[in-house]
Structure 1
Amino acid sequence: MSTPATSAAAPVAPVKPPPAAERVYAHVKQALLDRRYEGGMLLTEGELATAVGVSRTPVREALLRLEVEGLIKLYPKKGAMVLPVSAQEIADVVDTRLLVEEHAARRAVPAAESLLTELEARLTEMRDHSEAGDLAAVSVADRHFHAALVRSAGNRILDRLYEQLRDRQLRMGIAVMHAHPDRIAKNITEHGEILQALRDGDAEAAVDAVHRHVSWVRHLARGEDR
């Protein structure tokens, strides 16, 4: 009995590009995180439309979304001003992080080997990016380190809450590292202390290390160096 001929593979549908408003949103958000758009800078719809290659309508939609997130302030017929990172914003983010991360550090003990492996990998990334002078990449690896710790607590509500802080953390972290480059090495050391406490199975030492590490940003916002 003859075997039926194998049918030709179906053609692969071309990947559709993201909607125009989403492209504008991603462009501006990344520029904010990379500090190409600094606090106090005025962005115009026309300039953004040209930069992304879209009309002004999706630019307005994207800017409205960014205003809701507290990253810009819209001024009718003028444009959008990039809001600087304020001391109050830093304090609010630090308070929220302490509540979430101290709880996660306590719950992480005894730490699973998979968590320790991931934290070690993120710490290595931070060292490598620091040596390369890529502060944005250092900040991303830093956030991934903490996100892994929070995720290990197994609380999906806390995961979502922490995820909402993501962009604010990245923006703050990059801004602070540019202003205080000496803190990068201290940051990496403090991450190592958190990891070592988890390896030792010492929950209170892990919580204390997290508290000291997260709190330093608030000290700098108050003009107190550590």
Structure 2
Amino acid sequence: MAQTEKQSTTLLAIDPKLPMAPQIYGSIRQSILDLRLTPKQALSEKELALMLGVSRTPVREALIKLSEDGLVDIFPQRGTFVAPIRVAEVLEAQFIREALEVSVVARVAEISDPTIIARLHESLARQKRAVDNGDLDGFLTEDENFHFILSASVNLTRAWKVIQNVKGQLDRVRVLSLPEPGHLAELYDQHLAIVVAIESGNSTAAKKHMTKHLQQVFRTIDKLLAQRPEIFFD
């Protein structure tokens, strides 16, 4: 399969009715995060522009921005590549995410609002369907929504944006871990434990369960480093 054909199947479509720059950036970024563009894969500015039906300038700008995000490596005279998964950056993102989300869930538990709890249970129901159907993409989408609900419910959406901005490397590790047998069900059970703690108004338990949930990435990294060392830079 030619590189152009391979890359064309990995990019999200561009809507000409919407602003182009954020769509181009978002399309390439999402394809990196969900591993349709794989770590260390070469990226052609010209081919990306042709496939997206845009000029090279906004593609170049998107790649520069993705380089600033740590998701793309640009080497003069050598080319542009999807960045390897850098363990140090994964651990830093995990540190930031845990610091923010543990505080967020404590606040949600202290409030223990029935409306918020109902929204969380709706999310859990969608997660359960994804688990039962083996729907990895559906579960990942609802996993993101679950954590967003927590931040939004206590008016801390900017905290979630901070997390989103730093967790690109972390997300790739998460995607790699999803196909592991029983992993989706384990994540669902962890989310359920968090909601039970929130329902009871027990902020200590909510923090404990959120910490356990988020720290699972450490176990995942160890496994992936052993199984697929070629995609990492440690």
User: Where does residue 18 of structure 1 map in the other structure?
Assistant: 18
In structure 2, distance between residues paired with 1:183 and 1:115: 26
Deviation at 1:78, TM superposition (A): 4.4
Alpha-carbon separation, structure 2, partners of 1:173 and 1:40: 18
Question: Aligned with 2:120: secondary structure?
Answer: helix
Question: How far did 1:160 drift?
Answer: 3.6
Whether 2:88 is the aligned partner of 1:91: answer no
- Map of 1:102-141 to 2, 5 A cutoff? 102-108=102-108, 109-141=110-142
What is the deviation of 1:193? 0.5
Between structure 1 and structure 2, the one with the greater Rg is 1
Q: TM-score, normalised by structure 1?
A: 0.81
AA aligned to 1:86 is: R
**Identical positions, percent:** 26
Deviation at 1:168, TM superposition (A): 4.7
CA displacement, residues 126-183 of structure 1 (integer Å, 9 cap, x when unaligned): 22223333322211211221122123333455344234246455433212214x3432
CA contact (8 A) 1:24 1:48 kept: no
Match of 2:178 in 1: 177
1:164 corresponds in structure 2 to: 165
Report the CA distance shift for 1:169/1:115 in structure 2 as closer, same or farther (over 3 A): farther
Greater relative contact order (CA < 8 Å, ≥ 6 in sequence): 2
SS class of match (1:211): helix
Query: Would the alpha carbon gap of residues 216 and 160 (structure 1) be closer, same or farther in structure 2, given more than 3 Å must change?
Result: same
Match of 2:61 in 1: 61
Partner in structure 2 of residue 46 of structure 1: 46
SS in 2 for 1:221: helix
CA root-mean-square deviation = 2.4
Q: Which residue of 1 aligns with 2:227?
A: none
How big is each residue's C-alpha offset from its partner over 1:21-47, in whole Å with a ceiling of 9 and x where there is no partner? 434323212221332101010011122
Q: Which runs of 5+ in 2 are unaligned?
A: 1-14, 225-234
Q: Cα deviation per residue 1:5-24 (whole Å; 9 max; x = unaligned)? A: xxxxxxxxxx9623444343
In 1, Cα distance between equivalents of 2:223 and 2:34: 24
Runs of 4+ off more than 6 Å: none
With structure 2 as the length reference, what TM-score do the two structures score?
Answer: 0.79
Q: Which amino acid aligns with 1:216?
A: Q
SS of 1:222's equivalent? helix
Matched, 1:219 2:225: no
Return the letter of the residue paired with 1:138: F
Contact kept, 8 Å, 2:112 with 2:200, in 1: the verdict is: no
Cα 1:64/1:139, change in 2 over 3 Å: same
Task: Show structure 1 runs of 5+ residues with no match.
Answer: 1-14
Helix, strand or coil at the partner of 2:74: strand
Aligned residues of 1:45 and 1:79 also touching (Cα < 8 A): no
